[in-house]
Chains A and B, each alone.
Chain A
Amino acid sequence: MRKLYLAAIAFCTVGFAVRGQAQGGLSLQGLGYPTGQLSARAEATGGGAADFDALSLVNPASIAGVGSAALYFQYSPEFRRVTTASGTAKTTTARFPLAVGVLPMGQAWTLGLSSSTFLDRSLETSLSRTQIVGDSATDTVTVTERNRILGAINDVRLALAWSRTPEFRIGVGAHVFTGSNRILFSQLFPDSAKFISTSQSGRISYAGFAGSLGIEYHPSRAIGFAFSGRKGGDLRAQSGDTAIGSARLPDHYSASVTYEGITGASISARVAHDGWSSLASLSSSGIQAFDGWDTGVGVEASGPRILQRIITMRAGARFRTLPFGLNGQKVSETSFAAGFGLPLTRERAALDFALQRASRSAGSDIKERGFILSFGLRVSP
């Protein structure tokens, strides 16, 4: 009997298996994919117009330019294709990355409350492998490991902006980062009479805070500049009542310029830097997070007039580094976008549409392509 308990003690001190990263895509490494927190309009301009866009969650000063009270909701499904040496996977991820409410208060002040997806970690993988189960080396079985993770870290921002004149706007934002990841891991065996299929489930909750500041300056009607920054606070991860990790939310800085010297057209460019590496400590297996640049340029121009409404046409390109690497390599994303804006119901509503084609790579044979469709509906009540 003593032997039995010694065996049990040995059994329990084996410890946990080191968990690999079963993400199934280049963009799904680590804590997930950063959607960018851009509206469909900003996405269609490669992110160039983001710092001037009241509906993107980038620059709190921009909400001062909203004009009238607005509610905005965005739906952005992504059709992804991952190609590796072992095969090609096609997935569809439905995202609702942005919901915004902006309310002008008086002549100078504007209040905005918005929620956006910061890091989306929705994935599912299934891997079959041969395993020896028993004393004999010939006693093998094919076990299927199924891993499903759903959820995201979201950024909820309360912003206040001030603007006396169209030339200058300034805004501040208070951010609450919240959300959760639900995880379901199953090991499935083919013969239930011999083997016990197992299933584990878990949930991680996230909570963190950040503050942001932004300005917009238009020295002339032809040109404008915008600068914004977000200073990250602590981001804590909990499983149940237990703290399982913490990190600093990444600092974010961006600068943009827009040129409106051509009648009916606007050209904008943006460069931003994200300190993603601060999230590296929020890991149990040593994920690699890289600081990265996010650059984009785009054009927005008045298009054809349909039903007495002017359709705005947009196009842009964007290059950025994704936060989490693969095998020590950075994952970069290059995307080209196009879209349009369509005023509806006597200017009280507008539909923005963007189509992005994103290519991601990490310096290896693994390629990832994604088509992201964004539908944004703005309503002015």
Chain B
Amino acid sequence: MKISSLLPRLLATAALFVSIPSCSEKLDSSAACPVLCPAIGGDVQNLTLDAVVLDTTVQAFSGLGAEPGLLLAARGDTLDTRVIIRLDSLPTTFVPAGDTARPISSVDSAYLQLRIDTLSIKGASSVTIEAYDVDTTANDTSTAAIVALFRPDRFISAQTFVRADLKDTLKYYISNSAVLGKIQNNARLRIGLRATGPGSSQLKINSAEAGLTPVLSFRATPDTATKPLTVLPRSKTPIGDAIAASHLTDYTVIAKAPAAAPPGTLAVGGLPTHRVYLRFDIPSSIIDSATVVRATLLLNQSPNDAIDPTDTVQLLPQVVLAGKVVTDPAKAAQIVGAISIDTLKLTPGGAGLTNVELAGAFALWRAQKPDTLPRAITLRSVSEGNSPLEIRFFSSEDVAALRPRLRISYTSRVPLGLP
């Protein structure tokens, strides 16, 4: 091939190789900053507002038994909680190995399989868990009525565990005759658990809401070739309300709780568990006209030494999604959305200023009008319903220095356009 015919092809190929990579732009000249590109945005300004127009403490759950854990506690004069497990539907027949179904005439090795949150256990001494028959024709969701059934004539069984016995999965054996009696009478088996012992004790049992429901297991025949029967909790009451009945398959009854927070105090967590609902009045000009880069709710904590004052409680702020048609804060506090996965770690006995970051809420509020999305948040405990720990804050009814306030950090909008 002559050089004269090769050269144009070489030139064309070279041009192609040079031009192809240059098709993709790379405009970033940041390395020349800051000499050639000084800061554009202005300094951040801070503004602290008394923007809270409503702050109140509301119930955390919409109904009894909605909590994801069952708290079994015996903390002396401070706290006494019981656990109720409803087994309203017991089998009456079983199928022996290699045989046909026949009525249950005996019960052996009956036990409840409980899933324990071992990190929640308090108390180093042994704990005795007593079981009572808490079935009643009275109001079966009345705390007083249920607690009254923890009496000797309702006693089913008891089992003592040392601390080392309390593993993730706990077999709690109950009276075989009690189970058989319920089966043969075609009656409901509703078991109430109470903790007793030489010292105070507390543990959390996972509930049906957590997906780890307690299970009753027993043998209907001594023949080990026949599989044991397992019964999942079920509540047949209240009739016509499947959701409430589902919650009531297992739940916690508070026989004695720490003293409630004083009126006018904002309380998060505790038993019965609470959330704090706060609604703000933020002038739309602030959200619309400036560039808010940080928003912080400033709360002053009030010490609560009632129980475990040095234990850590994780609080989570959430944005209220309920529209303005939901005027009841207690109901609005149930319709919430996450704004952060970061939790606020406080101790009940702590005091002083606490910052609650609301960056996520402001990002939503900037995109939605107040009519659609009220400027409201809730504060809830991550372990709500499972822990007696309660964090308290001063409310807007307190003196000015202690009231909740909102600090907004912002920069002025940069006029984009001409250089």
Contacts and interface: CB of A to CB of B under 8 A. Distances in A.
Are A and B bound to each other? yes
Interface of A: 1, 3-5, 7-8, 10-12, 14-26, 28-31, 75, 77, 79-80, 82-94, 122-127, 129, 131-135, 143, 145, 147-148, 181, 183, 185, 187, 189, 192-196, 198, 200-202, 204, 237, 239, 244-245, 282-285, 287, 305-307, 324, 326, 340, 342, 353, 366, 373, 375
8 contacts: A19-B415, A24-B29, A82-B32, A145-B41, A187-B41, A284-B417, A284-B419, A373-B18
A353 B16 CA distance: 12
B283 A126 contact: no
Contacts of A284: 415, 417-419
A110 B28 CA distance: 43
A133 B291 CA distance: 13
Nearest to A245: B418
A183 B418 CA distance: 10
A226 B32 CA distance: 41
Contacts of A204: 417-418
Contacts of A340: 11
B21 to A, nearest CB: 8
Interface string B98-134: 0000000000000000000000000000000000000
Contacts of A1: 50, 281
A243 B291 CA distance: 24
A148 B19 CA distance: 24
B23 to A, nearest CB: 6
A125 B33 contact: yes
A361 to B, nearest CB: 13
Sorting the interface of chain B by its residue count into under 10, 10 to 19, 20 to 34 or 35 or more gives: 35 or more
Contact of A86 (B7, B21, B31, B292): B31
B359 interface: yes
B27 A122 contact: yes
Contact of B294 (A82, A88, A133): A133
Contacts, number: 263
Nearest to A324: B419
B225 interface: no
A137 to B, nearest CB: 12
A287 B120 CA distance: 66
A287 B419 CA distance: 7
A339 to B, nearest CB: 11
Given A3-B50, A237-B417, 17 more contacts: A1-B50, A8-B283, A8-B286, A11-B286, A12-B285, A14-B45, A22-B37, A23-B36, A24-B36, A75-B19, A92-B26, A124-B29, A134-B407, A193-B359, A195-B293, A198-B293, A373-B18
A87 to B, nearest CB: 4
B7 A306 contact: yes
Contact of A123 (B29, B291, B418): B29
A85 B31 CA distance: 10
B4 A127 contact: no
A185 B415 CA distance: 10
A314 to B, nearest CB: 14
B412 A17 contact: yes
A307 B19 contact: no
A105 B39 CA distance: 55
B138 interface: no
Interface in B3-50: 4-5, 7-8, 11, 15, 18-19, 21-50
B32 A86 contact: yes
A123 B27 contact: yes
Contact of B44 (A19, A24, A132, A283): A132
B254 interface: no
Nearest to B6: A306
Contacts of B36: 22-26, 82, 84, 125, 326, 366
A79 B291 CA distance: 36
Contact of B49 (A4, A15, A375): A4
B357 interface: yes
B401 interface: no
Contacts of A375: 15, 19
A204 B295 CA distance: 32
A282 B417 CA distance: 10
A17 B416 contact: no
Nearest to A18: B42
A200 B414 contact: yes
B357 A194 contact: yes
A15 B296 contact: no
Contacts of B41: 17, 143, 145, 185, 187
Nearest to A244: B417
Contact of B19 (A86, A198, A373): A373
Contacts of A131: 43-44
Contacts of B27: 91-93, 122-124, 148
A30 B417 CA distance: 11
A194 B412 CA distance: 19
Contacts of B141: none
Contacts of B4: 305-307
Closest 8 CB pairs of A and B: A202-B416, A17-B42, A24-B29, A77-B22, A22-B37, A8-B283, A89-B29, A89-B31
A83 B33 CA distance: 10
Contacts of B296: 134
B341 interface: yes
A89 B29 CA distance: 5
A31 B419 contact: yes
A12 B341 CA distance: 32
Contacts of B289: 11-12
- Which residue of A4, A85, A148 has the most chain B CB atoms within 10 A of its CB atom? A4
Given A187-B411, A196-B362, A239-B417, A134 B32 contact: no
A131 B39 CA distance: 11
Nearest to A32: B419
A207 B27 CA distance: 26
A1 B396 CA distance: 13
Given A77-B22, A307-B8, A373-B18, A23 B37 contact: yes
B410 interface: yes
A89 B416 CA distance: 24
Nearest to B28: A124
A124 B40 CA distance: 13
B309 interface: no
Contacts of B170: none
